[in-house]
Structure 1
Amino acid sequence: MAIVVESEKACTVNPLKMSQPLGASYAAMGLDACMPVMHGSQGCTSFGLVLLVRHFKEAVPLQTTAMNEVTTILGGYENVETALLNIRKRAAPKIIVLCSTGLTETSGEDIVGHLAMVRKRKPELNDTELVYVSTPDYIGAFEDGYKHAITAIVKTLVKPLPTVHRQVNLLPGSHLSPGDIDELREIVGAFGLDPIVLPDVSGSLDGHVAPDWRGTTLGGTTLDQIRAAGASAFTIGVGEQTREAAQALETLAGTPFEIFERLTGLEPNDRLLQRLAQLSGRTVPAKYRRQRSQLLDAMLDGHFYTGGIKVALGAEPDLLLAIGSLLQEMGAELSVCVSTTTSASHALLPASEVMLGDLEDMARGASGCDLLVTHSHGRQMAARLGKPLMRVGFPVFDRLGNAHRCQIGYRGTMNLILEVANLMIEQITHHHPGDWALPQASVDLAAAIPRVK
């Protein structure tokens, strides 16, 4: 069990964490025909938009209420109303998710009251679902905003329905990529179960060339699917950040749930398949038995290169737990662990300490480590220390294919082990141009050997 300590610095030097409104907006992008809106200044929204576009290399819909100095002081009701009406007129979304920011939270606006008043004054908005998420960016982090968003979506849109026994809800954490969600959906479907993924960024941010551009999200969980989640027989959450939404589903619709703290590693995937076999009444498909065998072989091959290495990690809590636990199981030592926000996940991490800090805190303890694991903002640290960097999490803007990367399930875990092992192999077998030349004594000996004519 890791002890959680907070950095005592007066300011953040090299940020590790992203903001709550950005995390909530990301969750909204997993809903079909949705428009995420940040209730704050244009700068806040622009910064988040740039990170999302650079990470996914896709066009991303994200709007703002464009608060300024005057509206911040006098109140932003008119900005909210104007933004909602303009968005409905131009993009016609089925869902609008409004995320507050530190600006509007600090000024003390009654945003819930604003939305109720807009509904009364503008009946043309009645065909659009409005979801409000409180996400002040002066506290919490990306994972917190995502957690609050999926909980708000459940509480606002899900209603109890008669149970459909082969239907299950999947609540993926923000650390799961579109590729991870595709893998999870395939695993669940292999047992004859029908999953509703909430939210589903694999439909909207999976790197496909869309046939059109509507101005809203293209793909993801539909409004009908969200409402149908109240009929599911069971809910599976991936990551501690999904517990709050799973509990809301249980309260609203009586749906039992289980939270898997991670799906990276051998044992948690064994538990997942056992649970799916129990829910479906079917045996584990042969292909997953084969994948498990392949994972065991990769663990055997990889541990020669990961055993005994010292690792420095910087990530959101659930991702930190997933990557850190796997590396520890592969014989690595978690020497430095830095995270962004408080979470029950930290208690499960096999390390002595987790610091809530920034990348400067990570760099201070990483000089004696063999591998650095964090997002792309750690690249300067890696270059300065001369250490290999494995890029994980959000944002990763200097590599392609983030949407297709898979690190869960037996297959994804195997991919991750091989990636780490290959990084370490590269460090211990770094060749120079002269390494392949024969020594002079060998050249002289070869010249003295008689030639066969």
Structure 2
Amino acid sequence: MAHVVESKKACTVNPLKMSQPLGASMAFLGLDACMPVMHGSQGCTSFGLVLLVRHFKEAIPLQTTAMNEVTTILGGYENIEAALLNIRKRAAPKLIAICSTGLTETKGDDVNGFLALARQKHPELADTEIIYVSTPDYVGAFEDGFKHAITGVVKSLVKPLPLVQDQVTLLPGSHLSPGDIDELREIIEAFGLKAIVLPDLSGSLDGHIPPDWRGTTLGGTSLDDIRAAGASSWTIGVGEQTREGAEALQAISGAPFQIFERLTGIEANDRFLMRLSQHSGRPVPAKYRRQRSQLLDAMLDGHFYTGGMTVAIGAEPDLLLAIGALLHEMGAELRCCISTTQSASHALLPAETVLLGDLEDLEQGAKDCDLIVTHAHGRQAAQRLNKPLLRMGFPVFDRVGNAHRVQVGYRGTMALIFEIANLMIEQIPHHHADDWPLTPEARRAALARTAAPQSMPPSPLAEASA
């Protein structure tokens, strides 16, 4: 069990964490025909938009209420009203999802009251679902915003329905990529179950070319599917951050839930597949038995390069646990662990201490480590320390294919092991003939051998025949 320590520095240097509004916005991007809105200044939204675009390499629908100095003091009702009417007119979304920022939280805007008044004044808004989530960016982190967004969607839109036994709800954490979600859906469906994924980034940010342009999200969990989650017989949460949403679903529909703290690693996936087998009444398919055998072999091959190495990791809590626990199972030592916010996941991490800090803390702790694991903002620290960097988390803007990266399930775990092992192989020095210094006598002898005529030694076969 890791001991959690909060940094006491006067200021954050080279921040590790992303804000709550950005995490909530990413969750909203997994809802179909949705327009996420940040209630705050244009700068807040622009900064988050740039990070999302650079990470996914996709067009990102994200709007703002464009608060300024005057409206911040007088109140933001008129800005919210104008934003709702303009978005409905231009993009016609089925859902408008609003999250707050530090600016409007500090002012104390009564957004729920604003929304009720706007609906009363403008009956045309009746055909559009509108939800609001409080996500001040001066507390918490990216993972907290994602968590509150899931809970807000569940409480606002899910209603109890008659039970559908072969339907389950999957709540993925913010650390899962669209490729991860696709992998988990495939595993669940292999047991004859239907999965409602909330939110489903694999439908909206999986890097496809859409057949049309709507100005809203182009895929994800539809409103009908969100409402249908009230009929699911079981809720699966991936990451501690999904517990709040799973509890909200249970309170509404009565469906039991189980939180899998991670699905990277062999033991965690064994439990996941056995639980799916129990729920569905079907045996584990042969292909997953084969994949498990392949993962065991991959762990055997990879541990030669990971065993005994020391690692510095900077990540959100659930990602920190997923990667850190796997590295520990592969024989690595978690010497420096930096995270962003409080979480029950820290208690499960096989490390002595977790520091809630920044990338400066990571750089200082990584001086004696063999590997650094964090997002793309850690690349300068890795260069200064001359250490290999495994890019993980959000944002990763200097690599392509982030949406298709798979790190869950047996296959995803195997791919991650290979990635780490290959990164460490690149650090092994390879010596060549010119690397070894020669004495003057040895150099003269080598030159003499090069200059002398070479004669072929007699063949043993020729001597034997003679």
TM bucket normalised to smaller: over 0.9
Structure 2 residue matching 1:313: 3-state secondary structure? strand
Mapped partners of 1:158, 1:452: distance in 2 = 86
Question: Partner residue of 2:157?
Answer: 157
Question: Partner residue of 1:283?
Answer: 283
Mapped partners of 1:225, 1:399: distance in 2 = 33
Mapped partners of 1:179, 1:374: distance in 2 = 19
Mapped partners of 2:178, 2:426: distance in 1 = 29
Query: How do 1:198-217 and structure 2 match up within 5 A?
Result: 198-217=198-217
- Offset from partner CA, 1:154-185 (integer Å, 9 cap, x none): 00000000011100000000000000000000
Mapped partners of 2:84, 2:447: distance in 1 = 79
Amino acid at match of 2:347: A
Amino acid at match of 2:104: T
Structure 2 residue matching 1:428: 3-state secondary structure? coil
Superposed displacement of residue 433, structure 1 = 10
- Offset from partner CA, 1:59-110 (integer Å, 9 cap, x none): 0000000000000000000000000000000000001100000000000111
Task: Give aligned pairs, total.
Answer: 453
Amino acid at match of 1:164: V
Structure 1 residue matching 2:204: 3-state secondary structure? coil
- Offset from partner CA, 1:319-355 (integer Å, 9 cap, x none): 0000000000000000000000000000000000000
Structure 2 residue matching 1:38: 3-state secondary structure? strand
| Corresponding position: 1:398 with 2:403 | no
Question: Partner residue of 1:132?
Answer: 132
Question: Partner residue of 2:354?
Answer: 354
Question: Partner residue of 2:60?
Answer: 60
Change (3 A) 1:66 1:190: same
Change (3 A) 1:10 1:222: same
Mapped partners of 2:118, 2:112: distance in 1 = 10
- Offset from partner CA, 1:214-252 (integer Å, 9 cap, x none): 100000000000000000000000000000000000000
Superposed displacement of residue 366, structure 1 = 0.8
TM-score, with structure 1 as normaliser: 0.97
Mapped partners of 1:89, 1:431: distance in 2 = 67
Amino acid at match of 2:217: T
Question: Partner residue of 1:379?
Answer: 379
| Corresponding position: 1:226 with 2:226 | yes
Structure 2 residue matching 1:380: 3-state secondary structure? helix
Query: How do 1:19-168 and structure 2 match up within 5 A?
Result: 19-168=19-168
Superposed displacement of residue 443, structure 1 = 8.1
Structure showing greater Rg: 2
Mapped partners of 2:434, 2:221: distance in 1 = 56
Amino acid at match of 1:450: S
Question: Partner residue of 1:367?
Answer: 367
| Corresponding position: 1:450 with 2:450 | no
Change (3 A) 1:426 1:113: same
Mapped partners of 2:435, 2:448: distance in 1 = 18
- Offset from partner CA, 1:341-380 (integer Å, 9 cap, x none): 0000000000000000000011111100000000000000
- Offset from partner CA, 1:270-301 (integer Å, 9 cap, x none): 00000110111111111101100010001001
Change (3 A) 1:442 1:173: farther
Question: Partner residue of 1:311?
Answer: 311
Superposed displacement of residue 444, structure 1 = 6.3
Amino acid at match of 1:265: G
Unmatched 5+ stretches in structure 2 = 459-466
Change (3 A) 1:445 1:296: farther
Mapped partners of 2:92, 2:448: distance in 1 = 80
Mapped partners of 2:142, 2:313: distance in 1 = 17
- Offset from partner CA, 1:30-84 (integer Å, 9 cap, x none): 0000000000000000000000000000000000000000000000000000000
Unmatched 5+ stretches in structure 1 = none
Mapped partners of 2:305, 2:448: distance in 1 = 37
- Offset from partner CA, 1:117-153 (integer Å, 9 cap, x none): 1111111111111110000000000000000000000
Superposed displacement of residue 429, structure 1 = 3.5
Question: Partner residue of 1:244?
Answer: 244
Question: Partner residue of 1:340?
Answer: 340
Structure 1 residue matching 2:338: 3-state secondary structure? strand
- Offset from partner CA, 1:249-277 (integer Å, 9 cap, x none): 00000010000000000000000000110
TM-score, with structure 2 as normaliser: 0.95
Mapped partners of 1:431, 1:63: distance in 2 = 56
Query: How do 1:247-286 and structure 2 match up within 5 A?
Result: 247-286=247-286
Change (3 A) 1:57 1:442: farther
Mapped partners of 2:456, 2:47: distance in 1 = 71
Q: Which moved more, 1:425-434 or 1:349-358?
A: 425-434
Change (3 A) 1:308 1:129: same
Structure 1 residue matching 2:426: 3-state secondary structure? helix
Q: RMSD value over aligned CA atoms?
A: 1.8
Mapped partners of 1:445, 1:264: distance in 2 = 58
Change (3 A) 1:448 1:250: farther
Query: How do 1:163-178 and structure 2 match up within 5 A?
Result: 163-178=163-178
Mapped partners of 1:431, 1:72: distance in 2 = 64
Superposed displacement of residue 448, structure 1 = 5.5
Mapped partners of 1:431, 1:174: distance in 2 = 43
Mapped partners of 2:118, 2:33: distance in 1 = 21
Superposed displacement of residue 450, structure 1 = 1.8
Mapped partners of 1:245, 1:402: distance in 2 = 26
Mapped partners of 1:206, 1:349: distance in 2 = 30
Mapped partners of 1:393, 1:319: distance in 2 = 7
Mapped partners of 2:135, 2:433: distance in 1 = 54
